[in-house]
Amino acid sequence: MTFIGKDLKVVGTRPIRPDGVDKVTGRANFGADMTMPGMIWGKIKRSPHAHARIKRIYTEKALSLPGVKAVVTAADFPDIAAEEAFAGEAIMDFRDLSRNCMARGKVLYDGHAVAAVAATSPAIAEAALDLIEIEYEVLPFVIDVEAAMAEDAPLLHDTLFTQGVEPKPSRPSNIAKRINFTKGDVEAGFREADHIIERRYTGKPVHQGYIEPHACVAAVAADGQCMIWSSSQGHFMVRQYCAHLLGIDISNIRAMPAEIGGGFGGKTLVYLEPVALALARKSGRPVKIVMTREEVFRASGPAAGSVVEVKLGAKKDGRLTAGEVVLKYQAGAFPGSPVGPGCMCAFAMYDLPNASVTGYDVVCNRPKVAAYRAPGAPNASWGVESCLDELAIELGIDPLSLREKNAARDGTKAVHGPTWQNIGYAETLAAVRAHPHWTAPLGPGQGRGIASGFWFNIGGESSAAVHIAEDGTAAVATGNPDIGGSRASIAMMVAEVLGIPVERVRAIVADTASIGYTFLTGGSRVTFATGMAATEAAERVVEELKKRAAMMWEISPEAVEWRDGMAYPAGPNAGAFEPLSLGEIAFRSARTGGPISAELSINAQGAGPGFGTHICDVEVDRETGAVKILRYTAIQDVGRAIHPAYVEGQLQGGVTQGIGWALNEEYIYDGEGRLDNPGFLDYRIPVASDLPMIDTVLVEVPNPRHPFGARGVGEVPIVPPTAAVANAIYRAAGVRLRDLPMSPPHVLAALDKSDG
Amino acid sequence: MYEFEYHRPANLDEVGRILGAREEAKIVAGGMTLIPTLKQRLAHPSDLIDLGAISSLRGIREEGDRIVIGAMTRHVEVERSAIVQRGIPALAALAGHIGDPAVRNRGTIGGSIANNDPAADYPAAVLALGGSVKTTKREIAADPFFTGMFETALDPSEIITAVSFPKPQAAAYQKFPNPASRYAIAGVFVARFPNAVRVAVTGAAPCVFRVPEMEAALSRSFSADAIKDIKIPEGGLNTDIHASAEYRAHLVGVMARRAVAACG
């Protein structure tokens, strides 16, 4: 049943978030908060080298330190064969994942785990790390993407041969994969153009910057049953990966979701859990491992750094005739950058008759990249959305008109294949034109830029259970850790279906033994897919409630109507009985057939793609190169905002991270290939005082495949900011920045060059 | 963090006694630098002597044409002090832009000055205002006090009790903060007195320093224009992951001109 277009009582309102009180009072249990009787502490020994062969590991001294209960190295893990897995929004390989959790043979980046200890206190574990001696043969290393692609670059993997090129290469390379797809006739498209523009844009790796470091506790019982408590974006993922990496039956692992302090994609894979499990297995004690912030920076995340080359051809009136992009993405130490989605996102917003997209997935001596909010899309759009702005300027067309002229609409065949249906991109452009921000006056030294962004959003496997309590309240359990407000949105959808106030529905995140399989929290899928499962489960409960009322009245269930949380006799029986409330039916449920509940497992299809357009005003300090964000408006098609305040928060959060990416954030390496800024004193994420209030406009073009019309909303908003800021800087100061971050020294250097 | 003995004495005599008895003892004021250093195991003191209970080290008072600020006075107290706001508003403003609210509610002026971090804000104010540092043993003028990177004229058993500032005719501090830490990448404090102008720079070099060419030019003509052609040599300035020496030299000029302009 669809609720689109219906008069709704709960969906679309802004109730207090159900997880809020625990979080602001410090009662919420995050990854590091779990303790168990007999628990000991694990710590990880990490490589100080960017690239080195491990010749020998001496663990004897560490093991003889009083209090040390176990030491593990790669020898304690099975050496598993290559096998691809789909990890949220990226492809990864179990062999690589195993070697990322614990280096085998070689270390591939500064911070790569090479051994681990468990001891009776963190201080002893720390001291034991110093007693582990490792003999390395230091190897030449390579940090940057184009350097890694060079013929004579140091090779990370002797077994890596470039996929996607003909003939099959005979020599190994750091280029893991080449992707290409084309639409139409690109050469003809460029011949047809009145104007061609060709530019190159670069970006550095940036970290997801979640406030909670990775943390877990693992325990192994004498009979082999394992328990893992951890902060992740998917405890079913934790269960599956740990089982695979350690050779344990899935049924012998129970994974418990901790409250999660941010993930943004960076917690869609495991780092600590397999190590803690190996230590627990060896020591016979529960083992807790908590990363320091330095470890988070050196060994988890980040997003890919990239080089993006863009060529666009257009008629004088701005109509695009052809486009070509080449995307070179850093994967980090193992293959699997998000260059695939980057390629698909590059031109997804435009109706482009002829296009060619080529992507390279390149390994280098940095931590393996992890998903980060719309993985791959910000890199591609940084190039394409900047280049479109440069084209608009050269053609003398305003950048909004240029986008309106070329916007993808229903029926447009996207360069990467699909034909768009029910999309709201043009609606976001119309909202820009109508917004007072678009025409507000600007002062001297100020400028305004716009840029758009796209993300697919996904559906997938989800389970939800709705239980009615004897007092007529409801519990809804799902298998998704709540990183973006899913407990609120799911409780609201269930309350809407049941016809009761949302305060009477409690949403929880159930562990892997307590709910059906649920794919991880990622791809902006939870409110869509798990929300769909919960809605349908609630609908089944309503059917059951009607049956029970019918039984109590001794009439046919078809003659019962459910309205506002009450059963009413309908049809010929209308008015024959007093209506029965949910509470009254629940109270008597033992007499009418037992407890009332429904669980549903689905593979949700039909996620609606998301489009957004942002307006950004900046002021450039010509003497220092500092860029100040004066005003920012994020406009996005959200399908249907279940809890609008949460949706606005998603937009604001994405914009904030995008602005950090634009202006300041970057991984900085020293001459030895070591990360130079692994902490928030040196890695510069924006804070509230750096930014103005970020205004949002929620455009609602419903997704017909979701009962309430919802689309994923969390990822699109990080896509436009880098280009929106650069485009604003150009209009404020007359300089075009094509390298991220646009930090003050870089902006000043560009200003000096343009003045000179 | 390693183990240490914690002391919270009620008076300075007691502090002196512990310091004399324990060679590896360290004094903690607000702890804004020391605690992170301990956490990272970069220091291993035998004893930590917390000055927080010594009330005589706290407070702000006027003494004639000077303002005296107790060593344990927190940044937020300087920021909000009516005496400082009236007498040396630039100092109140400086205190209000140190670090973040958590730092300003814990960090102290004495701790900042004793630590003499190359990028801390207070050393610029003490040096430009020609303040003096009162200790348990003597009173030290600003110029000889700041001797080098994290180095001061304090001897190991000497404790700062207060900092005394003369009230200038006008003063202003302009800093270009590190966007992450809010430490100065370059900060310039300009103070104008009837018979002299003093200019002090923090963040740009290993230690806070004065700029005599700017002081001379401003003494002749107190205007931003008067120093527009004075170039700070890059030699001796810091280069790090946040900024090159060249960029810092440039910023010193810009911040100095803005500080002069802000003096009105």
What is the Cα–Cα distance from A527 to A493, expressed in whole angstroms?
Answer: 9
Kindly list the residues from chain B whose CB atom is less than 8 angstroms away from the CB atom of residue A663: 179
Partners of residue B176 in chain A, C-beta under 8 Å: 624, 626, 744
Q: Do domains A34-139+212-261+267-299 and A306-457+608-755 have the same CATH topology?
A: no
A121-131 pLDDT per residue, tens: 999 999 999 99
Return the percentage of chain A with pLDDT > 90, whole number.
Answer: 96
To probe the interface with B, which of A682, A685, A752 has the most B CB atoms within 10 Å?
A682
Query: Which of A623, A676, A684 comes nearest B179 by C-beta?
Result: A684
All residues of chain A having their beta carbon less than 8 Å from the beta carbon of residue B247 are 744-745, 748
Domain ranges of chain A: 20-27+459-604, 34-139+212-261+267-299, 306-457+608-755
The CATH topology of domain B5-50 is: 3.30.43
Which residues are A219's β-sheet partners? A227
A683 neighbourhood in chain B, CB within 8 Å: 180
Quickly list H helices, B22-138.
Answer: 34-39, 75-80, 82-87, 89-95, 101-106, 109-115, 122-129
Please check whether residue A106 is in contact with residue A78, taking contact to mean a CB–CB distance below 8 angstroms.
no
**Is the separation of the CB atoms in B96 and B81 below 8 Å?**
no
Kindly report the CATH number that applies to the domain delimited by A20-27+459-604: 3.30.365.10
Give A282-339 pLDDT, tens digit per residue.
999 999 999 999 999 999 999 999 999 999 999 999 999 999 999 999 999 999 999 9
Three-state SS letters, B174-242: EEEECCCCCCEEEEEEEEEECCEEEEEEECCCCCCEECHHHHHHHHHCCCHHHHCCCCCCCCCCCCCCC
Write down the pLDDT at residue A87. 64
Å between A670 CA and nearest CA of chain B: 9
Mean of all residue pLDDT scores within chain A: 96
pLDDT digits (tens, 9 = 90+) for A208-245: 999 999 999 999 999 999 999 999 999 999 999 999 99
- Smallest Cα distance from A692 to chain B, Å: 15
> Which pLDDT tens digits describe chain B residue by residue (264 residues)?
888 999 999 999 999 999 989 989 999 999 999 998 998 888 999 999 999 999 999 999 999 999 999 999 999 999 999 999 999 999 999 999 999 999 999 999 999 999 999 999 999 999 999 999 999 999 999 999 999 999 999 998 899 999 999 999 999 999 999 988 899 999 999 999 999 999 999 999 999 999 999 999 999 999 999 999 999 999 999 999 999 999 999 999 999 999 999 998
d(CA A294, CA B41): 14
Rounded CA-CA distance B45/B56 in Å is 25
Q: Which residues contact B199 (CB under 8 A, 6 or more apart)?
A: B128, B188, B189, B190, B191, B210, B211, B214, B215, B218, B256, B259
If DSSP codes are grouped into helix, strand and coil, which group holds residue B101? helix
Sequence spans of domains, chain B: 5-50, 58-263
Question: pLDDT tens across A641-677, in order?
Answer: 999 999 999 999 999 999 999 999 999 999 999 999 9
A326, A201 contact by CB (below 8 A): no
Q: B164 to chain A nearest CA, in Å?
A: 31
pLDDT, tens digit (0-9, with 9 covering 90-100), for A417-464: 999 999 999 999 999 999 999 999 999 999 999 999 999 999 999 999
**pLDDT at res. B250:** 97
Torsion, CA B200, CA B212, CA B207, CA B47, rounded to 10: -70
Task: Note the CATH architecture for domain A306-457+608-755.
Answer: 2-Layer Sandwich (3.30)
Residue in chain B nearest A622 by alpha carbon: B254
pLDDT of residue A92: 80
Task: Pick A274 or B3 by higher pLDDT.
Answer: A274
Residue A567: both structure tokens together: 């059963």
Q: What is the pLDDT of residue A264?
A: 97
How far apart CA A154 and CA A142 sit, in angstroms, is: 6
**Residue A373 CB: number of other CB atoms within 10 A?**
28
Contacts of A677 in chain B (CB under 8 A): 241
Q: Using beta carbons and an 8 Å cutoff, which residues of A are at the interface with B?
A: 126, 623-624, 626, 663-664, 668, 676-677, 680-687, 690, 743-745, 748
3-state SS class at A392: helix
- Chain A residues lying within 8 Å of B243, measured CB to CB: 745
In words, the CATH class of domain B58-263 is alpha beta
Tell me how far CA of residue A40 lies from CA of A124, A125, A601, in angstroms.
10, 9, 37
- pLDDT value at A86 more than 80: no
pLDDT value at residue A69? 98
Q: Domain A34-139+212-261+267-299, what fold?
A: Aldehyde Oxidoreductase; domain 3 (3.90.1170)
Backbone torsions φ then ψ of A644, nearest 5 degrees = -55, -35
Question: Residue A72 belongs to what H/E stretch?
Answer: strand A68-72
Tens-digit pLDDT profile for residues B165-211:
999 999 999 999 998 889 999 999 999 999 999 999 999 999 999 99
pLDDT (0 to 100) of residue A756 = 62
**Nearest CA of chain A to the CA of B228: how many Å?**
12
Contact of A300 with A271, CB cutoff 8 Å: yes
Strand partners, A629: A618
**Smallest CA–CA distance from B247 into chain A, residue:** A745
Q: Which residues pair with A413 in a beta bridge?
A: A419
Confidence tier at A575 by pLDDT (50, 70, 90): confident
What is residue A646's predicted lDDT score, i.e. its pLDDT?
96
Beta bridge partners of A325: A310, A357
Are the beta carbons of A682 and B242 separated by less than 8 Å?
yes
Record: contact B181-A664, CB cut-off 8 A: no
Nearest to B251 among A624, A676, A687 (CB): A624
Q: In which region does residue A6 sit, left (phi positive, over 0), alpha (psi from -120 to 50) or beta (all else)?
A: beta
Helices A377-395 and A399-406 cross at an angle (nearest 10°) of 110
What's the pLDDT at A89? Answer: 62
**In chain B, what residues touch A624 (CB-CB under 8 Å)?**
176, 251, 254
Q: What is the pTM of this model?
A: 0.96
Residue A319 near residue A405 (C-beta atoms within 8 A): yes
Task: Give CA–CA dist B3/A754, Å, rounded.
Answer: 57
- Which of B120, B236, B129, B232 lies closest to B185 in space, CA to CA? B120
Min distance B14 CA to chain A CA atoms (Å): 32
Q: What is the chain A residue with the closest CA to B254? A: A623
Cβ pairs A/B, distance under 8 A: 35
> Using the beta-carbon criterion (under 8 Å), do B244 and A680 form an inter-chain contact?
no
pLDDT at A84: 84
pLDDT tens column, A490-526: 999 999 999 999 999 999 999 999 999 999 999 999 9
